[in-house]
């Protein structure tokens, strides 16, 4: 019976917590979550967007009402030059009619708290940094830095872009000459950003926060690779992000394997983040205030300086170890696909585990091969799509300006809808729960 399988999840982030909730829904309760931090919370005070691809799953799990309370539906994007003259817009207001849901934007900590509330506290073990993973035909042993060990049938690495689980698995595969050369290469750092979420704002002073829909306001600087992103979210708050693409040649020889190494290499810390923000505090926004007016209302603990990286890994599993989310496909955040695909990874994996009848290594290898076959294609497209959207926004020069002008102002709206349809039709569900009605005009593939 699948309820007897024992699972260790490494990583108590959005992917790991969502996986835990789905395992419970499948009746697989013999699992634990190992989290390296001393407190179970998100480390970024930023925002996150969910679309129809994952919201149908959230409704199936009973989480949809809670998500609606913390989020705003997304109506689209407005792009401006640095003098606020318009470049064009992208309309997403057709989302609910076509796919059954609008896209929704929310504070990442708020979504994290919703998910956290559905995972029993006794399932989560804190201050558990993984230092070694040993697998054989009878199970997998996870050893932590405090000397504790946890043995299970399988181990799921949901511990982010700098995954310890992936590192240990790859070291063994490399020693066996079974690791593709590209998987051994370091992550590609492409962008640096400072971001945050304001406190609750007075709607009389910031009228945009009272609007039902959120529109992302993107300011593109003519002489800089950096841009400003603003969007109203739930709770009368505004999220903001300032950053952009780094110099293409400056990271060629840097092997950056941890977030600390990334920040040290770029001298990326509070002082540099402060200097960046000082450059834009007096810059006007479409809301009638300055960027500094919004930043000044942001609690310090909700301001994050982050290095953004991307990479698609070819190797997702070994005998009894499997990777999920950023650990196997790190997506740039421009198209809002990172969390969505971590959730869909977990959905696919749980569906396969639910149908499991025996626990031999070949059984798990077959499941993981099927999981990779079903999920690698969509994940690869998400990595590429996010990269292309980033280039669309950040690229400079005459050609880039014309591409934006044609795309945003001259192409008919049905072209945008057709492109979005290709992504949004992938709205899968858990096979063992009651099916949620497909309410969209553009029907899901499954």
Alpha carbons 432 and 446: distance in angstroms, whole number: 14
Alpha carbons 291 and 116: distance in angstroms, whole number: 32
Average pLDDT on 263-271 reads 59
Helix or strand run (H / E) with residue 24: helix 14-25
Q: By percentage, how much of the chain surpasses pLDDT 90?
A: 69
| Among the listed residues 375, 372, 374, 356, the one whose alpha carbon sits nearest the alpha carbon of residue 364 | 356
Residue 336 reports pLDDT greater than 70: no
Residue with the two structure tokens 């809301």: 287
pLDDT digits (tens, 9 = 90+) for 397-417: 888 888 888 888 877 777 878
Alpha carbons 393 and 308: distance in angstroms, whole number: 15
Alpha carbons 296 and 9: distance in angstroms, whole number: 38
Mean pLDDT, the chain, whole residue set: 90
Alpha carbons 344 and 351: distance in angstroms, whole number: 11
- In angstroms, what CA-CA distances link 72 with 113, 235, 420? 17, 9, 19
Residue 360 reports pLDDT greater than 60: yes
Retrieve residue 162's tokens: 């700098």
Pairing of strands 7-10, 154-157: parallel
Alpha carbons 364 and 367: distance in angstroms, whole number: 5
Q: 256-292 burial string, b = 16+ CB within 10 Å, else e?
A: beebebbbeebebeeeebeebbeebeebebebeeebe
Residue 253 reports pLDDT greater than 50: no
Helix or strand run (H / E) with residue 345: helix 338-354
Residue with the two structure tokens 């942001």: 298
Helix or strand run (H / E) with residue 25: helix 14-25
Residue 2 reports pLDDT greater than 70: no
Q: pLDDT category, 243, cuts 50, 70, 90? A: confident
pLDDT digits (tens, 9 = 90+) for 292-333: 999 999 988 778 888 788 899 999 999 999 999 999 999 888
Alpha carbons 284 and 291: distance in angstroms, whole number: 6
Task: Count CB atoms within 10 A of the CB of residue 218.
Answer: 20
Which class is 2-77+89-186+311-396+417-424 in CATH?
alpha beta
pLDDT at residue 43, rounded to an integer: 64
| Among the listed residues 68, 61, 71, 69, the one whose alpha carbon sits nearest the alpha carbon of residue 19 | 61
Residue 350 reports pLDDT greater than 80: yes
Q: pLDDT category, 268, cuts 50, 70, 90? A: low
Average pLDDT on 73-80 reads 94
């Amino acid at each position: 019976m699948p309820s007897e399988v024992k699972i260790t999840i490494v990583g108590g982030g959005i992917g790991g917590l969502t996986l835990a909730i789905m395992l419970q829904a499948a009746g697989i309760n013999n699992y634990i979550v190992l989290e390296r931090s001393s407190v179970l919370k998100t480390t970024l005070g930023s925002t996150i967007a969910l679309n129809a691809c994952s919201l149908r799953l959230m409704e199936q799990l009973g989480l949809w009402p809670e998500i609606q309370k913390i989020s705003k539906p997304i109506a689209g994007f407005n792009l401006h030059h640095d003098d606020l003259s318009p470049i064009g817009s992208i309309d997403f207001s057709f989302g609910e009619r076509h796919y059954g849901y609008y896209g929704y934007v929310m504070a990442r900590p708020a979504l994290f708290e919703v998910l956290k509330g559905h995972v029993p506290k006794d399932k989560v073990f804190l201050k558990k940094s993984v230092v070694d993973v040993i697998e054989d035909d009878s199970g997998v042993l996870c050893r932590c830095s405090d000397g504790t060990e946890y043995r299970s049938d399988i181990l799921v690495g949901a511990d982010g872009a700098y995954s310890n689980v992936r590192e240990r698995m790859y070291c063994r595969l490399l020693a066996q000459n079974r690791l593709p050369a590209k998987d051994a290469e370091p992550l590609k750092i492409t962008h640096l950003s400072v971001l945050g979420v304001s406190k609750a704002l007075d709607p009389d002073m910031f009228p945009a926060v009272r609007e039902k829909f959120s529109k992302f306001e993107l300011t593109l600087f003519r002489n800089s690779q950096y841009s400003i992103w603003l969007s109203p979210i739930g709770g009368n708050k505004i999220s903001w992000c300032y950053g952009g693409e780094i110099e293409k040649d400056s990271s060629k020889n840097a092997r950056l394997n941890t977030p600390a190494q990334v920040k040290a290499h770029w001298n990326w810390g509070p002082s540099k983040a402060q200097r960046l923000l000082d450059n834009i505090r007096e810059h006007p926004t479409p809301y009638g205030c300055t960027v500094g007016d919004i930043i000044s209302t942001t609690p310090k603990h909700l301001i994050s300086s982050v290095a953004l990286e991307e990479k698609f890994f070819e190797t997702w599993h070994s005998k009894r170890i499997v990777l999920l989310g950023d650990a196997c496909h790190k997506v740039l955040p421009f198209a809002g696909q990172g969390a969505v695909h971590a959730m869909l990874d977990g959905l696919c994996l749980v569906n396969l585990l639910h149908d499991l009848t025996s626990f031999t290594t070949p059984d798990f290898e077959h499941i993981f091969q099927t999981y990779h076959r079903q999920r690698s294609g969509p994940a690869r497209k998400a990595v590429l799509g996010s990269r292309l959207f980033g280039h669309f926004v950040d690229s400079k020069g005459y050609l880039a300006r014309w591409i934006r002008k044609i795309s945003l102002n001259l192409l008919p709206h049905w072209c945008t809808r057709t492109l979005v349809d290709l992504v949004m039709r992938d709205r899968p569900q858990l096979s063992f729960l009651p099916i949620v009605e497909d309410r969209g005009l553009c029907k899901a593939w499954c």
